[in-house]
Amino acid sequence: MASPATPERPRLTREDVLDAHEVAELLHMPLSTVLELARRAVIPGHKLGRRWIFLHDEIEAGVRQASRQPQARDTPQPPAAQHPRPRGKRAKWYPEVVPDPDSARQPTLFG
């Protein structure tokens, strides 16, 4: 029995909890995309052991929040710095990683 000082939370039902297949169907996305977005914390999810579970309310809130945010795709990206390629048989060339000025912000759903 809960003490009078602590408010009671509504219990989770089967309808509140979704698995990755159900989220993929709900969002019309491939399952692999849903799992990748959950791993990167773009989609709110919870990993229990080897399974991902999602709360319907959190998914709905994330979609509604994403529709209110401006799309970051419209901003032009600065060109990457050019470096001469190394010469030699075993030389490998890796492009320089230019930090994104917006990289400090948390990724959001679909944006």
Rounded Cα–Cα distance for residues 66 and 63 (Å): 5
User: What pLDDT score was predicted for residue 77?
Assistant: 58
Q: Taking 80 as the threshold, does the pLDDT of residue 86 lie above it?
A: no
Average pLDDT, the chain: 78
User: What pLDDT score was predicted for residue 80?
Assistant: 58
Q: What angle do CA 3, 8, 13 make, to 5 degrees?
A: 140
User: What pLDDT score was predicted for residue 13?
Assistant: 85
Range of weakest confidence among 29-33, 79-83, 86-90: 79-83
Rounded Cα–Cα distance for residues 91 and 52 (Å): 41
Binning pLDDT at 50, 70 and 90, where does residue 62 land?
confident
Total-model pTM:
0.55
